[in-house]
Structure 1
Amino acid sequence: MKYYLIAGERSGDLHGGNLIRAILRNDPDAQFRGFGGEQMQTAGMELVVHYDQLAFMGVVKVLLNFRKISGYFRQCADDLLRWKPDVVILIDYGGFNMRIARKIKPLGTRVFYYISPKVWAWNTGRAHKLKATVDRMFCILPFEKDFFSKFDWDVDYVGNPVLDAVKAFKSNVAFRDSNRLPGDRPVVALLPGSRRGEVERIAPLMADTAGRFPTIHFAVAAVNTLPRSLYRPLENLPNVQLVFEQTYDLLQNSTAAVVTSGTATLETALHRVPQVCVYITAPIEYAIGKRLLKVPYISLVNLILNKPAIAELLQHEATLDRLSEELKPLLEDGPRRKQMLSDYAELYQALDTGSASDNAGRLMVHYLKA
């Protein structure tokens, strides 16, 4: 069968690559084409457009690049019509992919969605639109199945691919020595995100925090896809170092972490590293988001557990004093640290339902052949 996949972000490319391999185990003659990145291409997909042409974060960036995004939308729709796949598999990236679903569903092509758009967070009414344009939804968060059931929609919860990645990770035993991390004092991991705007806004606060704790060593989970100059506020401090493209190794060697909201909060929790979640966005986007947000938390950890397991410092709350106040008890073997680790164990159990990509791949092939 012919599978057309669309992923518009780095994480979607990773999960898409794993999904392709899972589908091949159930459908060895499968053909793949679509939008994505190196991970999906390596797994066997013919790449039409790389996700880095589509990765615009926030309302303002999307509006400024609307013409460019519309051009890729038309290219995608035209390519779909020419290739005539048996199914289109949409991976996260809600704004673009929901438009694609509305465009192609009337043509009779089957539409599967892997990693649901976060309609439960921003606009619950969009669940009706998803149901009308998507044949099968494959969710990765346990509470999403109950959410969609309110719209009389039976969806599949397949497990979480982040847990798959953490389970599969093989740590580098030489990491601490090769990166010259000190063995005589705690290390705090700083995860400022992988997008330019995130790093620009959070780096100064992280630098001030490192200055507040001069006896603690801080290590920044840096990425090669951003200019090194973005990390300059952190790089020049005596107790801070940059560690490029080794986030999981860094987490496994850290006592605590300061994390920008997103998938990284879940990754940090699954590595059992106590953390503080910090999120700073552009003022206009914060104002819009505050009006639209329908959930009590922004971190995946708290959303899944449905309680404030980790501290969330948003926008004006993200100050040096507040961050220092939340970080200090995580560096001590006291009740706050122990409670967070206990909550992490509960989180792990909630997500541990087997491989998400294996479950999704098997179900997709089953539904197509049924």
Structure 2
Amino acid sequence: MKYYIIAGEASGDLHGSNLMKALLEKDANAEFRFWGGDLMQNVGGTLVKHYRDLAFMGFIEVVMNLRTITKNLSFCKQDIEAYNPDCIIFIDYPGFNLRIAKWAKPKGYKTHYYISPQIWAWKENRIHDIKRDVDSMYVILPFEKDFYQNKHNFPVNFVGHPLIDAIADRKQIDEDTFRQEYNLNEKPIIALLPGSRKQEIKKMLSIMLSIIDDFPDYQFVIAGAPSQDYSFYKQFITNPNVNFVSNITYDLLSVSTAALVTSGTATLETALFKVPEVVCYKGSWLSYQIGKRLVKHIKYISLVNLIMDEEVVTELIQNDFNSKRLKIELNKILNDYERTKFFISYYELEQKLGGKGASNNVANLILKALN
């Protein structure tokens, strides 16, 4: 079979690579052409566009890059027609992928969507496009199946969360060796996960790093995103109590005592490593004002709290994300009693997400539909 896969972000690259591996195990003749990143490229096939050239954050940034986005859409359609795949697999990235699905379905291409757009949070009217343009939807959050099937009468498959597999299958590391390799001392580690795009990294790190002198008994380690070079992060590393590692976030979390995390998939990854965290978010004023008016009916921004339907982790959003509040909340999660509460909640969270096998489940369902 010939598969055309579109993933536009780092998380999509991870989940896309694992899905490709699962498809190869079941389809020895599988051929891949894809938009994604290094992890997908390492599996094999042809990388058409790297996600680092596709990701634009916030309403203003999208508007400023509309010409590039339009060109990418046009090129993608031409590339699909030239490749003529047996199916197209969309991985998250809804602003782009739903437009391609709208074009692809009338042309007879089989459309499979892995990792649903978060229409339960905003743009719920996208359900009409999904019903029209998507043959099969594979959801990874337990409440999404009820949302689609009971509220919108659209059958979907809950396949479990792919992060369970990604974390369980990773190569284990020795903490002493890790510290030596990256010149880390014996102090407990507080991981800083500031996001993956330059705009958000600048906003997040400026506040995250403002409190390091208040925690002299800890060392802070920035988790560099695979889409950014060290030269970009160098400007932020001006304190001897701050270190940097690149593209090994899972290894860093596995040896961390606590974490300050930009909202997104990283909040769930941190929880699955059982690391107490403070969730942070700060966007441009205009983007935040627009977003606040569009996202009206959800109580939380972090996946941890959304899945648990309660405030397990503290969320510092926009003006609440400041040095004073961050210092207070970090002190809280370093308290032994509070940490025990985290571990209990994180265990319950993992049970809700289901066991291993998301990529394998999706691969089986896609091949069943194609055959």
Deviates more, 1:5-14 or 1:128-137: 5-14
Other-structure match for 2:254: 252
Alignment of 1:62-73 (within 5 A): 62-73=62-73
Other-structure match for 1:125: 125
Gaps in structure 1 of 5+ consecutive residues: none
Q: How many residues of Structure 1 are paired with residues of Structure 2 in the alignment? A: 367
Distance 1:134 1:45 in 2: 24
On the 8 A contact 1:94/1:117 being kept in 2, the answer is yes
Other-structure match for 2:311: 308
- List per-residue Cα deviations over 1:196-228 (Å, max 9, x = no partner): 011100111111111222232211112354354
CA separation of 1:121 and 1:103: change in aligned 2, threshold 3 A? same
On the 8 A contact 2:9/2:55 being kept in 1, the answer is yes
Distance 1:41 1:224 in 2: 14
Distance 1:232 1:3 in 2: 39
Other-structure match for 2:35: 35
Other-structure match for 1:219: 221
Of 204, 207, 210, 2:206 maps to 204
Alignment of 1:21-170 (within 5 A): 21-149=21-149, 150-170=151-171
Give the drift of 1:186.
2.5
Other-structure match for 1:239: 241
Give the drift of 1:325.
1.2
Query: TM-score w.r.t. structure 2 length?
Result: 0.95
Other-structure match for 2:288: 286
Query: TM-score w.r.t. structure 1 length?
Result: 0.95
Which one-letter code corresponds to 1:167 in the other structure? Answer: A
Distance 1:225 1:39 in 2: 12
Distance 1:233 1:38 in 2: 25
Distance 2:323 2:315 in 1: 14
Question: Secondary structure in 1 aligned to 2:152?
Answer: coil
Distance 1:205 1:171 in 2: 32
On the 8 A contact 2:304/2:313 being kept in 1, the answer is yes
- List per-residue Cα deviations over 1:221-275 (Å, max 9, x = no partner): 1235435455456411132211222211211111111111111111110000000
Of 264, 275, 297, 2:266 maps to 264
- List per-residue Cα deviations over 1:324-345 (Å, max 9, x = no partner): 11111211211x2211111100
Question: Secondary structure in 1 aligned to 2:5?
Answer: strand
Gaps in structure 2 of 5+ consecutive residues: none
On the 8 A contact 1:113/1:138 being kept in 2, the answer is yes
Distance 1:3 1:224 in 2: 25
Give the drift of 1:45.
2.3
CA separation of 1:241 and 1:253: change in aligned 2, threshold 3 A? same
Distance 1:317 1:15 in 2: 32
On the 8 A contact 1:13/1:40 being kept in 2, the answer is yes
Other-structure match for 1:172: 173
On the 8 A contact 2:7/2:36 being kept in 1, the answer is yes
Which one-letter code corresponds to 1:191 in the other structure? Answer: L
On the 8 A contact 2:191/2:253 being kept in 1, the answer is yes
CA separation of 1:106 and 1:301: change in aligned 2, threshold 3 A? same
Which one-letter code corresponds to 2:181 in the other structure? Answer: S
Which one-letter code corresponds to 1:343 in the other structure? Answer: S
Question: Secondary structure in 2 aligned to 1:119?
Answer: coil
Question: Secondary structure in 2 aligned to 1:25?
Answer: helix
Give the drift of 1:139.
0.8
CA separation of 1:304 and 1:324: change in aligned 2, threshold 3 A? same
CA separation of 1:50 and 1:227: change in aligned 2, threshold 3 A? closer
Alignment of 1:183-202 (within 5 A): 183=186, 185-202=187-204
Distance 2:236 2:51 in 1: 29
Other-structure match for 1:327: 330
Distance 1:34 1:228 in 2: 27
Question: Secondary structure in 1 aligned to 2:48?
Answer: strand
- List per-residue Cα deviations over 1:158-191 (Å, max 9, x = no partner): 11111211111223211022223332x4221111
Deviates more, 1:345-354 or 1:134-143: 345-354
On the 8 A contact 1:111/1:136 being kept in 2, the answer is yes
CA separation of 1:189 and 1:316: change in aligned 2, threshold 3 A? same
- List per-residue Cα deviations over 1:286-313 (Å, max 9, x = no partner): 1111111131111111111111100000
On the 8 A contact 1:4/1:88 being kept in 2, the answer is yes
